[in-house]
Structure 1
Amino acid sequence: MSASSIPGRLRRMNKTQKLSVAGISAVAAAALSLSLVPGNADAETEPQAISGAPVIFASAAGASQAKTIQSSVIEQHSTAEQLIKASDSAKAKAVSKEKAKKAKAKAHAKEKAKAKKAASKRGKQGASRSESRTPVFSNNLDGWIKESLSIMKAKGIPGTYDGLHRNIIRESSGNPKAINDWDVNAVNGVPSKGLLQIIKPTFDAYHVGGTPHDQYDPVANITASANYAADKYGSIDNVNSAY
């Protein structure tokens, strides 16, 4: 083969053949470099078979790159752990917040129930005190007049203790069962009855609600008679004789 024919043949090589030649050249250069290493100068170098597998050469740059990759992996692992911890912390805070919210709602409901119970208790106590303040009238002429005056005041019927007492004594001497069976009313079949000697038609017409519908009942008799006197005379106080 002549030197002048080599360039032409190289030009006719395909891409794969060119890469093979480049690889062989690189390996040859590496082998030459190794043969020049001190300590191996006297050793005979035997021809080495060249395989098609890629040749990997360790270098300081490769070691540095490996360390960089390792550091990146460690850093990513650390970041992942931090993200997990942050997520767990957020979940814990959310759970704690929800528990606090439920506890607050429970406490509010408890306070509301307590306030309602206290209000109910105060209402009962108030009713009890109101009942205890309700006057108790004695079952005698003094008590009957005072109870009648209390009802008359509530109903807007005028009259005083003195006016009632004075007319009662004149009409019945304070006897709630007194009855007149001799006057014109008795002759007509409607005798005057009770403390203020009121006849049935008048009692029915001027009866005060809340009292018994009974002419002989002391309070019913007094309040009906006072109601009639207020209508006819302005007040029982203005009555000084039969009315």
Structure 2
Amino acid sequence: MKGVRAKKHLGQHFLKDQNIANKIVESLSGHQSYNKLLEIGPGTGVLSDILIQQNIYDLLFMDVDQESIDYLKDQHPDYSDQFILEDFLRMDVSKYFNEPFGIIGNFPYNISSQIFFKVLEYRNQIPEVVGMIQKEVGERIASKEGNKTYGILSVLIQAFYDVEYLFSVPPNVFNPPPKVTSAVLRLKRNETETLDCDEKLFFRVVKQGFNNRRKTLRNALKSFDLTTEQKSLDLLDKRAEQLTVNDFVELTNLLADGES
């Protein structure tokens, strides 16, 4: 069977460097907290091959590309049932996983942020993620307060995960090469089971704050109909990018009275 053609509309850039592939797989911290591992977008199988050879995890491989799935089933007939044609963003997680599972993958750039938002939905079931994404997005997710790259994804992910920017990957190790440098991140679930505030309101405050990131929070959060007392809060003198996760939790609690 012939190989897999990279499809532009799927954002496919296939990693061809074996050393980097090994390094990505080795970035998994271990299976102490999970036995099942999902690879998103296996493509030509450069990570899949290593994972199968390791024989450590109970593996599932998911791709929206029929050609990729057919190719990988042909390459690994003993694992044929574990290569699934499905979209991670639309999948019913409970259909495949009723216990903790890790995630690994060379994520398509055009949906990488959406993948992380889905991870957040199932954060109590996903202890670890090792993913390769566009460097710009990776820097944003790993960024700390006070940086221009710090944003919505930074706060929401860091609220529930410890984020490590592991290493950068140059374009020339892909086929076809992307126009940008890539980054490999590792997310490990922290000990925060639930935030000490109304989580739905927390998400609203974070998103509204960064949607108007050049404004002080007093102006950015005008749609919350703040009371006179709330308008005088010191935290509202700052911009969203200056607040830590804990600051956003505190602010959410201070605003909660006005929402009740």
TM-score, with normalisation over the residues of structure 2? Answer: 0.22
Higher relative contact order (CA 8 A, sep 6+): 2
TM-score, with normalisation over the residues of structure 1? Answer: 0.24
Structure with more of its chain in strand, by fraction: 2
Structure with more of its chain in helix, by fraction: 1
